[in-house]
Amino acid sequence: MPEHKCIIKLIFMNKKKFLPAAIVAFFVGIFWAFPAQAVCPVCTVAVGAGVGLARYLGVDDTITGTWIGGLMISLIFWTLSWFDKKKIFFKGKVALTVVLYYGLVVVPLVWIDVIGHPLNKLWGFDKLLLGITFGSAVFLAANYLYEILKRKNGGRAWFPFQKIIMPVLALIITSGIFYFITK
């Protein structure tokens, strides 16, 4: 096995170091959270912590993929918001950002044989890719629903932390559905 694959597998498979890193990232995100961005930092940290916890606990790949998909959408929104804030405009900005983020996540997972194992399928699709697809779609839909509800309420949220609760709750519900499907 090539050396880079061994190193990456050690990083992903070392459960004793992964959970503490996820916990530290969660608390750093809480204390360094910034106000009102495309998707709030607390939400992103919650998604990241969910990925770390799922991998640590050995949760099914469809559920882990759901949280990875949500994290990807969150990071894409953050990056696009940052581009706008810095007044960086170029043709294909959205498409390039989407392709780069998904490429940065999916390609390494293919290289280390996490994605593509013939026995890791649901409905004929790789479980992790299926989860990423559903997680991305659900997280994106929850964010758009939040924006619609906010607009209908005069530009204000209907309840405290709605911007955080809606996408994270959508991921939790999707994870629960996958849990019962794959059980």
Please identify which residue in the block is written with the tokens 């294909």: 92
What's the pLDDT score for residue 85? 92
Sign of the Cα torsion 60, 62, 67, 71 reads positive
Q: Please give the average pLDDT of every successive group of 10 residues along the chain, which has 183 residues.
A: 44 50 52 47 57 73 89 90 90 91 83 79 88 94 91 86 88 92 83
CA–CA gap between residue 46 and residue 34 (Å, rounded): 14
In this prediction, residue 24 carries a pLDDT of 54
**Domain spans of the chain, in order of start:** 3-182
Rounded to two decimals, what is the model's pTM?
Answer: 0.69
CA-based nearest residue to 75, from 32, 109, 40, 24: 40
Contacts of 91 (CB under 8 A, 6+ apart): none
- What is the 8-class DSSP label of residue 125? E
Q: How many CB atoms lie within 10 A of CB 127?
A: 22
Q: Check residue 36 and give its pLDDT.
A: 42
In this prediction, residue 33 carries a pLDDT of 45
What do you get for the CA distance between the two ends of the chain, in Å? 33
